[in-house]
């Protein structure tokens, strides 16, 4: 019996996930706001046949402690809008999925939905959405319309506690995703008729108001954008605790989790399963893919990756801390780890390169061939859409049945 090939994604973020990555020898820190830098990274990821890349984002400047702004100048500060970044590279690639982060606390759900639908058109079916709540109180002041919970140092030591404190924002985020999905469905696939005889461009019985009424907002619809090529672009979320697991169980097509070993992966997946049961989701009809995160430093020469990381730690003045497991080693050793962890029931991995472009290139030219040799990863793209890569069926519009 052979397991299906694993899914593999790369999380792109500025110069990489180590705060001092921009000071690495082969980093391109002056190019972080330039389209060519991102185009180079994404075409490299596509060369490695990866399922998708993700783009991090936030509506505030980066900080060392995620809940509290700081004035550090020795780390990357400043960012570009992730949805626009994904769109900028879409026409330059042809297969790889593009999953930007979009804020669902301050950004209008209507705009999030049409932005991702537009990305799906521009990429002909390769868009995804990673909805993110605004967990930093300082970001709310950039909008001045509301306040959000101010996390304390005490809170951030415990993911369960963060989850409970932010649970109203997760509830609202689930509403935002529901609105996005309804808007994507609001035009049936065959709504455009171009009937010259009657002069009608659309069949208005196939374009629907969504009439969403929630605790935090209501949206009438329909979308201004016709149904995107994938029907509904896949929604994915990062989760570390019960509340976000439940959010994923309600709203996502894929959840990204952060175990530190195989046993912990199994334990977390059991919690995800429990959350799925609590929400009553039927995963045969609506599969929920499970990805684990690993922050990676890779070099073919044994010991080199660890030395590279140690040098970056030294530059940053602290050992790298992360919610995800930090791996240093050779591509072969990482392949061993991924195949081992997968036994816990994972569908794939989202790898966070410690430094860019270095660790991305080690993934595409070192890890990928290694996994291919072991029969665990595709040797050619078998589909042209993100749903196709993830083996997720294209959903019918929920409104098609009603009419």
Partner 1 sequence: MSGPENTGRKQVHLAAQLPGIHNVTVWADPRSRSQIAFASFQHLARTAERGRFDFFFLAEGLRLREHKGRLYDLDVVGRPENLTQLSALAAVTARLGLAATVNATFNEPYEVARRLATLDHLSGGRAAWNVVTSFDAFTGENFRRGGFLAESDRYARAAEFLATARELWDSWAEGDVRADAAAGAFVRPGAGRFAHHGQHFGISGRFTTPRPPQGHPVIIQAGDSPAGREFAAAEADVVFSKYNRLDEARAFYRDVKSRLARYGRTPDRLKILPTATVVVADSDAEAAAHAEEITRAQVSPQTAIAHLEAVWGRDLSGYDPDGPLPDIDPVPDAQMLKGHSLFRRDRDAIARGWRALAEERGLSIRELVIEVSGGQTFVGSPHTVADAIDHFVQSDGADGFVLVPHLTPGGLDDFVDRVVPLLQEKGVFRRDYTGPTLRDHLGLPHRPERTPVPKETP
- C-alpha torsion 165→167→169→174, nearest 10: 170
Instruction: Give the nearer residue to partner 1 in terms of CB position, either 3 or 224.
Output: 224
Of 353-382, which residues contact partner 1 (CB under 8 A)?
none
**Least spacing, CB of residue 182 vs partner 1, in Å:** 12
Of 245-304, which residues contact partner 1 (CB under 8 A)?
none
**Least spacing, CB of residue 330 vs partner 1, in Å:** 26
Instruction: Give the nearer residue to partner 1 in terms of CB position, either 30 or 285.
Output: 30
**How many whole angstroms separate alpha carbon 277 and alpha carbon 291?**
19
Among the residue ranges 22-30, 253-261, 272-280, 381-389, the one whose residues contact partner 1 (CB under 8 A): 22-30
Instruction: Give the nearer residue to partner 1 in terms of CB position, either 2 or 198.
Output: 198
Residues in binding contact with partner 1, number by CB under 8 A = 78
**How many whole angstroms separate alpha carbon 344 and alpha carbon 270?**
10
What residues contact 303, with CB distance under 8 A and at least 6 apart? none
Among 2, 3, 13, 5, smallest CA distance to 360 is for 13
**Least spacing, CB of residue 160 vs partner 1, in Å:** 29
* Identified binder of partner 1 from the candidate list 18, 23, 182, 309, rule CB under 8 A: 23
69-72 long-range contacts, Cβ below 8 Å, gap at least 24?
69/136, 69/138
**Least spacing, CB of residue 71 vs partner 1, in Å:** 6
Among the residue ranges 43-51, 201-209, 240-248, 259-267, the one whose residues contact partner 1 (CB under 8 A): 201-209
The interface mask with partner 1, positions 80-109, x = CB under 8 A, is xx-xxx-xxxxxx-------------xxx-
Instruction: Give the nearer residue to partner 1 in terms of CB position, either 223 or 235.
Output: 223
Interaction between residue 402 and partner 1 (CB under 8 A)? no
Q: 52, 97 in Cβ contact below 8 A? A: yes
Instruction: Give the nearer residue to partner 1 in terms of CB position, either 126 or 240.
Output: 126
Instruction: Give the nearer residue to partner 1 in terms of CB position, either 293 or 359.
Output: 359
* Identified binder of partner 1 from the candidate list 94, 142, 150, 375, rule CB under 8 A: 142
**How many whole angstroms separate alpha carbon 74 and alpha carbon 269?**
37
The interface mask with partner 1, positions 41-70, x = CB under 8 A, is -----------------xxxx-------x-
Among 83, 7, 14, 91, smallest CA distance to 48 is for 7
**How many whole angstroms separate alpha carbon 339 and alpha carbon 277?**
27
Interaction between residue 351 and partner 1 (CB under 8 A)? no
Token pair in block for residue 9: 């994604």
* Identified binder of partner 1 from the candidate list 43, 47, 121, 171, rule CB under 8 A: 121
**Judging by beta carbons within 10 Å of its beta carbon (0-12, 13-18, 19+), is residue 64 exposed, middle or buried?**
middle
Of 310-339, which residues contact partner 1 (CB under 8 A)?
315
Instruction: Give the nearer residue to partner 1 in terms of CB position, either 64 or 274.
Output: 64
Among 123, 244, 128, 105, smallest CA distance to 181 is for 128
Token pair in block for residue 1: 């019996």
Place of tokens 């509904």: 232
Q: 128, 234 in Cβ contact below 8 A? A: yes
Among 250, 60, 253, 227, smallest CA distance to 173 is for 250
Instruction: Give the nearer residue to partner 1 in terms of CB position, either 115 or 388.
Output: 115
Task: Classify the C-alpha dihedral 315-318-321-325 as positive or negative.
Answer: positive
Among the residue ranges 115-123, 231-239, 290-298, 362-370, the one whose residues contact partner 1 (CB under 8 A): 115-123
Interaction between residue 147 and partner 1 (CB under 8 A)? no
* Identified binder of partner 1 from the candidate list 9, 41, 79, 363, rule CB under 8 A: 79
* Identified binder of partner 1 from the candidate list 4, 199, 280, 321, rule CB under 8 A: 199
What residues contact 283, with CB distance under 8 A and at least 6 apart? 276
* Identified binder of partner 1 from the candidate list 161, 216, 262, 281, rule CB under 8 A: 216
Of 219-238, which residues contact partner 1 (CB under 8 A)?
219-222, 224-226
CA of residue 111 relative to chain centroid, distance: 18
């Amino acid at each position: 019996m052979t397991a299906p090939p694993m899914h593999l994604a790369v999380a792109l973020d500025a110069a990489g996930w180590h705060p001092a990555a921009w000071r690495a020898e082969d980093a391109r820190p002056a190019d972080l706001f330039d389209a060519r830098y991102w185009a180079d990274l994404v075409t490299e990821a596509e060369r490695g046949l990866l399922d998708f890349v993700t783009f991090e984002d936030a509506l505030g400047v980066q900080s060392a402690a995620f809940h509290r702004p700081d004035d550090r100048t020795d780390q990357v500060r400043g960012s570009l809008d992730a949805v626009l970044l994904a769109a900028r590279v879409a026409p330059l690639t042809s297969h790889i999925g593009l999953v930007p982060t979009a804020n669902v606390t301050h950004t209008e759900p209507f705009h999030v939905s049409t932005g991702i639908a537009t990305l799906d058109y521009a990429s002909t079916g390769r868009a995804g959405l990673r909805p993110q709540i605004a967990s930093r109180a300082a970001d709310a002041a950039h909008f001045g319309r509301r306040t959000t919970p101010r996390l304390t140092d005490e809170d951030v030591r415990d993911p369960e506690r963060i989850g409970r404190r932010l649970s109203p924002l997760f509830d609202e985020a689930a509403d935002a995703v529901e609105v996005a999905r309804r808007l994507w469905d609001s035009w049936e696939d065959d709504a455009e008729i171009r009937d010259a005889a009657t002069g009608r461009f659309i069949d208005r019985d196939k374009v629907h108001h969504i009439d969403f009424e929630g605790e935090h907002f209501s949206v009438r619809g329909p979308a201004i954008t016709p149904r995107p090529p994938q029907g509904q672009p896949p929604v994915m979320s990062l989760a570390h605790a019960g509340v976000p697991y439940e959010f994923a169980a309600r709203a996502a097509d894929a959840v990204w989790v952060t175990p530190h070993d195989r046993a912990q992966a199994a334990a977390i997946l059991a919690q995800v399963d429990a959350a799925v049961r609590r929400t009553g989701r039927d995963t045969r009809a609506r599969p929920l893919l499970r990805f684990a995160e690993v922050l990676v430093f890779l070099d073919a020469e044994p010991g080199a990756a660890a030395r590279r990381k140690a040098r970056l730690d030294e530059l940053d003045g602290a050992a790298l801390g992360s919610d995800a497991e930090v791996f240093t080693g050779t591509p072969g050793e990482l392949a061993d780890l991924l195949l081992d962890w997968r036994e816990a029931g994972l569908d794939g991995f989202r790898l966070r390169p410690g430094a860019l472009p270095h660790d991305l290139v080690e993934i595409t030219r070192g890890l990928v061939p290694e996994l291919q040799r072991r029969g665990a990863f595709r040797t050619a793209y078998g589909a042209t859409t993100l749903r196709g890569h993830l083996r997720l069926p294209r959903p019918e519009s929920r409104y098609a049945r009603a009419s």
